[in-house]
Amino acid sequence: METVAIRTLDKNYFVKVGNGAMDGLAPFLKENFPALTSLLVITDETVGRLYLQELENRLEGQQLHVKVVPSGEEAKTFDVYYGCLSFALEKKLDRKSLILAFGGGAVGDLAGFVAATFMRGIPFIQIPTTILAHDSAVGGKVAINHPLGKNMIGAFHQPEAVFYDLRYLETLPQSERRSGFAEAIKHALIKDAEFYEWLLDNVTRLDAIQDSILEGLLVKGIRIKGDIVEKDEKELGVRAFLNFGHTLGHAIEGECGYGRITHGEAVLIGMLFALKLSKEILGLSFDSSGFRDWIEKLGYKSAIPEGVSADNLLQRMKQDKKSTGGKVMFVLLKETGSPVKMEISDELLLSRLNEFQRRGSVSDQRD
């Protein structure tokens, strides 16, 4: 079991990571929230079916309400968000209530945004249940989607604590393991070349990452994310580096329809594209073939999904949160572990996107 401390201007909290992390939840509540009036668990249908009873047992004696939302990106809609607020009002939550976000990143983002806005902000705790959520549960970005853009309606609202019990990950489907691992690759690429090499050597199958390795790589990712968030909580500078691969990734998610492609898979395609731009523009020295062979073996798609238009992607990227005045900003790498944010012209983007699309599959994209 590891404990990672996160210190932001807004809040100091810890992330408990490991098998059995959840044993700390009830004592934490007792010690830190003695005047708690009620708890609202927000979870999704899948996680609820698998683990809600266990959570309820842990919280026996508490005034507990449960809101079950649809699984996946469907949870991050305005209607679901509004439904959660109505439920909280009907159940008479107050400012001494606390929300438990019990699920993957979609539930965490939704529940965190409910907590950020209910009565102008009440506390919440993240209880992540996916690999991806080693990223999403830390750092306080909470949001729902708009048809015109990913996470466009949101806030910064740090959790009181994160209890990351890795036993939950045992039931994760392969596609979700793959999605989550993409954010670990991102953390390595933006911050730690050695960690990236270690991942290349040690992670060769996503269905069989040994427990000891899994915990280590998730903790490493959390530390990388935590360090960046501590320096720049509200994304005025270096936090944008955590967006590596997301400029195109979010555009792909929007164009495909939220939930049709997982967040991690879209971000991985975005990282491939950003690596390509980094080589061309910044002379990044990087073994693309090795990278492609590796992600191919892990089962990632490496091409923009068919039928998605480069023009539409460009329009979406112009509305990205990093972009201003319609100028598209990309996170690129000077070297592995050394990101920079830079403006890329519409002309260059369109031409490289068209090229990237034409080349199709991963094995055709060797450059």
Q: Out of ligand LNCXM5UN, ligand NAD, none, which partner does residue 321 contact, by CB within 5 to 8 A per kind?
A: ligand LNCXM5UN
Which of residues 65, 76, 223, 316 is near ligand NAD by CB under 6 A? 76
User: Is residue 97 at the binding interface for ligand LNCXM5UN, with CB under 6 A as the rule?
Assistant: no
Q: Which listed residue (25, 135, 187, 209) binds ligand NAD by CB under 6 A?
A: 135
299 Cα distance to chain centroid: 20
Distance in angstroms (rounded) separating the CA atoms of residues 14 and 336: 28
Residues between 156 and 185 that touch ligand NAD (CB under 6 A): 168-169, 171-172, 176, 179-180, 183
Counted residue by residue, the chain has a size of 367
Helices (H), 64-119: 78-90, 105-117
Could you identify the residue written with the tokens 């004592």?
A: 27
DSSP-assigned beta bridge partners for residue 33: none
Give dist(CA 326, CA 298) in Å, integer: 36
CB of 49 to ligand LNCXM5UN, least distance (A): 26
Between the CA atoms of 96, 16, 266 and 190, what dihedral angle is there, to the nearest 10 degrees?
A: 120
Contact call for residues 261 and 253 (beta carbons, < 8 A): yes
For ligand LNCXM5UN (CB under 6 A), the number of binding residues is: 12
Identity of the residue, 274 or 284, whose beta carbon is nearer to ligand NAD in the bound complex: 274
User: Alpha-carbon distance 38 to 91, whole Å?
Assistant: 9
User: Within positions 277 to 336, which residues make up the interface with ligand NAD, using CB under 6 A?
Assistant: none
Contact present, 166 and 218 (Cβ < 8 Å): yes
How many chain residues bind ligand NAD (CB under 6 A)? 32
Question: Other CB atoms closer than 10 Å to residue 326's CB: what's the count?
Answer: 10
CA distance 21 to 90: 32
- Residue 159 to residue 136: CA distance in whole angstroms: 11
- 171's contact among ligand NAD, ligand LNCXM5UN, none, with CB below 5 to 8 A by partner kind, is ligand NAD
Nearer to ligand LNCXM5UN, 176 or 235 (CB): 235
CB of 108 to ligand LNCXM5UN, least distance (A): 10
* Residue with Cβ nearer ligand NAD (267 or 333): 267
User: Cα separations (Å) of 195 from 17, 176, 212, 217?
Assistant: 19, 22, 15, 9
As measured in angstroms, the least distance from the Cβ of 253 to ligand NAD is 8
Token pair for residue 286? 């990087």
Write each residue from 282 to 321 as x if it is in contact with ligand LNCXM5UN (CB under 6 A), else as -, in one continuous string. ---------------------------------------x
For residues 302, 220, 109, 111, the Cα torsion angle rounded to the nearest 10 degrees is: 150
* Interface stretch with ligand LNCXM5UN, choices 4-12, 70-78, 209-217, 237-245 (CB under 6 A): 237-245
Query: Which stretch, 17-25, 110-118, 168-176, 235-243, contacts ligand LNCXM5UN (CB under 6 A)?
Result: 235-243
How far apart are alpha carbons 26 and 87 in whole angstroms? 24
**Contact by Cβ (8 Å): 352, 273:** yes
The reply to whether 263 sits in an annotated binding site is yes
Residue closest to ligand LNCXM5UN (Cβ): 151
The Cβ of residue 148 has, within 10 Å, a number of other Cβ atoms equal to 10
d(CA 332, CA 52): 41
How is residue 356 written in tokens? 């990237």
Binders in 133-172 for ligand LNCXM5UN, by CB under 6 A: 135, 139, 141, 150-151
In the list ligand LNCXM5UN, ligand NAD, none, the entry touching 72 (Cβ below 5 to 8 angstroms by class) is ligand NAD
User: Which residues of the chain form contacts with ligand LNCXM5UN (CB under 6 A)?
Assistant: 135, 139, 141, 150-151, 183, 235, 239, 242-243, 246, 321
Task: Summarize the annotated binding site for Zn(2+) as residue ranges.
Answer: 183, 246, 263
Contacting positions for ligand NAD (CB under 6 A): 44, 46-47, 50, 71-73, 76, 103-107, 109, 129-130, 132-133, 135-136, 139, 141, 151, 168-169, 171-172, 176, 179-180, 183, 263
